[in-house]
Amino acid sequence: MPLMMSEEGFENDESDYHTLPRARVTQRKRGLEWFVCGGWKFLCTSCCDWLVNICQRKRELKARTVWLGYPEKCEEKHPRNSIKNQKYNVFTFIPGVLYEQFKFFLNLYFLVVSCSQFVPALKIGYLYTYWAPLGFVLAVTIMREAIDEFRRFQRDKEVNSQLYSKLTVRGKVQVKSSDIQVGDLIIVEKNQRIPSDMVFLRTSEKAGSCFIRTDQLDGETDWKLKVAVSCTQRLPALGDLFSISAYVYAQKPQLDIHSFEGTFTREDCDPPIHESLSIENTLWASTIVASGTVIGVVIYTGKETRSVMNTSNPKNKVGLLDLELNQLTKALFVALVALSVVMVTLQGFVGPWYRNLFRFLLLFSYIIPISLRVNLDMGKAAYGWMIMKDESIPGTVVRTSTIPEELGRLVYLLTDKTGTLTQNEMVFKRLHLGTVSYGADTMDEIQNHLRNPYSQQMQSQASGNNTSSTLPRKAQSSAPKVRKSVSSRVHEAVKAIALCHNVTPVYEPRAGMTGEAEYTEADQDFSDGNRTYQAASPDEVALVQWTESVGLTLVSRDLTSMQLRTPSGQILTYSILQMFPFTSESKRMGVIVRDESTTEIMFYMKGADVAMSSIVQYNDWLEEECGNMAREGLRTLVVAKRALTEEQYQDFESRYSQAKLSIHDRALKVAAVVESLEREMELLCLTGVEDQLQADVRPTLEMLRNAGIKIWMLTGDKLETATCIAKSSHLVSRTQDIHIFRPVTNRGEAHLELNAFRRKHDCALVISGDSLEVCLKYYEHELVELACQCPAVVCCRCSPTQKAHIVKLLQQHAGRRTCAIGDGGNDVSMIQAADCGIGIEGKEGRQASLAADFSITQFKHIGRLLMVHGRSSYKRSAALGQFVMHRGLIISTMQAVFSSVFYFASVPLYQGFLMVGYATLYTMFPVFSLVLDQDVKPEMAMLYPELYKDLTKGRSLSFKTFLVWVLISIYQGGILMYGALLLFESEFVHVVAISFTALILTELLMVALTVRTWHWLMAVAEVLSLGCYVASLAFLNEYFDVAFITTVTFVWKVSAITVVSCLPLYVLKYLKRKLSPPSYSKLTS
């Protein structure tokens, strides 16, 4: 196959497709089978969607012209600037909640059964026996939803009612965030949230630029530099914004947070001023101003802001266990109908048989127990309470109480990097000079090396020999190279690190000094206490903080100069001649500076080893040391320098400014000019910076991997950083290969790269967001299939919507349960899309933890949350659900036997209160106490995460286990009823008394049989229930013959029947545990 094929070739020629596994495309079978199997559902949803679309016609998004300060001039109507996270409004709340409840077959069935009791011919017993449980379930659900909804409403209200200053012709006025319109001029103070998408017009900073924090938007905690529109920044006063006639033309709203195209036009001058606007002139909503005060003109509001367009609507999450139980309920319904039909058939279709059929359906309706929903919902609330009360994971909050069992079924964990796996605190760890390496414990030696050269310099300057001190240096540069001493090499390296960066020191004005402006100016330079550093990357700050710690301090910086303070207190001034910023293509940054005291010109550069290795002079240590540092999880930067003569610099500058003015291929020409300087540079040093991991990240990830959970890391960060953290956190184990997916732009490249990846076995995949987008466009199925086989996957440079898209893909293709964990606003979409979302309350605010289903305070808590709480919640709910079904089945079996003996009469066996009492007072507490059951101690579950692996197969609740329970119910129901019929003598009342008492005892004994670890509350529940029953016998004289109950005959008959119904099951259980014990029993013995 040719290596390069045109895209058209790929579009038309599908013959090469055989190298990729064919996407499994199945034709839908139209017709009756399709309709029955789910076609009706498809048709209903299509109709509903069509109606919704008609009601909410989506407005077409258009480009716009926005006049500064005149919102009324907008031609279009734009959405309100309010945030809305609610699921319902006042009108849709009740219908919405009822729909969510009755779309479950179980609840719908009860509604129909309860309504049938209003028809006199079908009435069996009392109305309250049907309506009380249903009403209780609905009341609890509506209350729970109402509380959740009210909390969401309060959170939204808080954000929407934040106050901002708006500039008007009459001066400043305060407006609420939700009342801001397109065209308003809004003033945002330092540390305030930007309320809507704006174009940056002015700032209080002299440089005409400011820093903003974007962690809530894209997850990157480094500060971004934004530049004000120069035309408005130059205006003398604020009020002049209204004296000019200007407008901004902005493209239509879109998803991409990293791009913007627009123009700024001022009309009232001759000729009109046009300025092009790009991403650096914008301030997106949900970012925070980090320096100065900014003024911007609003261009997008509400639903059209980048941050809202990148978040998805929260969906109602339904647990897998609930879906499985829903399937079982349908199976029970089929059994119910079959049983009723059999009864009517045996009757011989006499008289109004269809009415009898319906009566039988109602008689046996206990096969599907209403108490199933009540018990499970109360169980979920109990699990939530246990999670929040667990002292090993303090601060954990359960926000969605309906899905705790999901925590026990997870196969994929999708995690964010910044702030989730890492603390996002950079620490300088290592300086390597080729022959000597300095670590954290030897930094004091560097301080000593630095003191010497600067103290000598001071003496020479003090003696007034300024000229002589510069001459030897000039001579030295032309003299043959002498091997430098370690001291001078350390000095050069530290100076390079202190000069080659884009960090700005910022001084917080001290309180109480406002009046003495001159004093503060002079004082500011040296007050170390209130100096903070601002930069576009935390790595840069870590380097500059380190040079300060060893004695060379950056004290001030503006666009043209920098000042350093030496250990002896002397100030060195350097003018900045050129700045070459870091880009993801070049992977390096450079600066040309002139030392004011010696007029030397130096070109310093630092960057990633891949970019720098070809630029620096030949050496034999760089590659090896970079590898060593990367294995330790350090982020490496190579630092180099080159001395320039005045002539060399002037020649460079003229070529550089010429290249910058060219219209065609500007970027290429500029890069070529800069590259002419990047030759034979002197390698100074290699630095290693560590992004500290969160506490216990490595053991937690290892535990999750042993539990059979596949971990994917989705991050907005750079590829190198992501790979580095993947290694240091042991997300990718030391022995594993890493396959870095090459950037691809079209179908052909994607195809070749996928084939290359298929040949690799058991290696981790690292892929960037752009390449992912291309692959998903053409080879979605193949890519997901290959990625699912990888032990670990790292996706870097992911936008928030991409993160959510990956979650959805996994759900569709793998069909397994996914969990997403993150801590920033950019993780919200992913958290809401996953089956189970976990938010961490971190440095990046609380947005993620508020949107999540579970909120934790540290990443390591996820281990206990899944291994202990997730596992036990699922196992307990499975046992509880099946036991409640057993409780309904056993009584229906008894009813069936009773009816068939008495000539198929549709007469209830137990009347009124006996039925209600059976499902509530007499057996409710022992059955519900199963939520306290545990098969292994929490410590064991943490120690052996392999126990968790079994759960993903869903063996605790399946058709197989369900069938076993059905057989038990039929056996016990049959024994209880036939036994009572055999042993009763004269009165029918005795049958009721004997069978009902034996039934209650059997249920209590069955709970005891099911329990794996006894809890004192379980024993209390058993004794209490039995006590209640015995006490209530005195009042139930309308059902029972009290005189008969107190005789010995009654006692021995009940005991005999109960023993026959329960003893064989105890024996079987004992044999099973002896012959094939479950995996956990091996650990507890």
Task: Cite the active site residues.
Answer: 416
Q: Which residue has the tokens 């209830």?
A: 908
* Contacting residues for 961 by C-beta, under 8 A, at least 6 apart: 878, 882, 955
H helices present in 172-257, as ranges: 215-218, 230-233, 240-243
Cα R_g (the chain), whole angstroms: 37
Amino acid at 762: D
Q: State the Cα–Cα distance between residues 159 and 162, nearest whole angstrom.
A: 6
CB atoms within 10 A of CB 8: 10
Measured over the CA atoms of residue 442, residue 448, residue 449 and residue 450, the dihedral's sign is positive
Classified as helix, coil or strand, 427 is strand
SS3 content of the chain, % helix, strand, coil (to 5): 50, 15, 30
- Residue pair 764/791 in contact (Cβ under 8 Å)? The answer is yes
Of 990, 991, 918, 904, whose CA–CA distance to 125 is shortest? 918
CA 385 from centroid of its chain's CA atoms: 23
Q: How many Cα atoms are found within 13 Å in the side-chain-facing hemisphere of 746?
A: 9
- Token digits for 499? 């000069």
Of 74, 96, 75, whose CA–CA distance to 87 is shortest? 96
CB atoms within 10 A of CB 751: 22
Burial 83-99 (b: 16+ CB within 10 A, else e): bbbbbbeeeebeebbee
- Token digits for 892? 């229906």
Residue 844 φ/ψ, nearest 5 degrees:
-85, 25
Classified as helix, coil or strand, 1002 is helix
Q: State the Cα–Cα distance between residues 1083 and 1085, nearest whole angstrom.
A: 6
Q: State the Cα–Cα distance between residues 668 and 225, nearest whole angstrom.
A: 24
CA 361 from centroid of its chain's CA atoms: 47
Q: State the Cα–Cα distance between residues 804 and 511, nearest whole angstrom.
A: 46
* Contacting residues for 241 by C-beta, under 8 A, at least 6 apart: 68, 69, 167, 185, 201, 202, 232, 235, 295
Of 872, 868, 841, whose CA–CA distance to 855 is shortest? 841
Element (H, E) at 240: helix 240-243
Q: State the Cα–Cα distance between residues 167 and 113, nearest whole angstrom.
A: 64
Of 283, 302, 299, whose CA–CA distance to 81 is shortest? 302
Q: State the Cα–Cα distance between residues 988 and 992, nearest whole angstrom.
A: 7
Residue 852 φ/ψ, nearest 5 degrees:
-85, 165
454 burial level (CB within 10 Å; 0-12, 13-18, 19+): middle
Which residues make beta-bridge pairs with 856? Answer: 840
- Token digits for 729? 């956190």
Classified as helix, coil or strand, 96 is helix
Bridging pattern class, strands 792-796 and 763-768: parallel
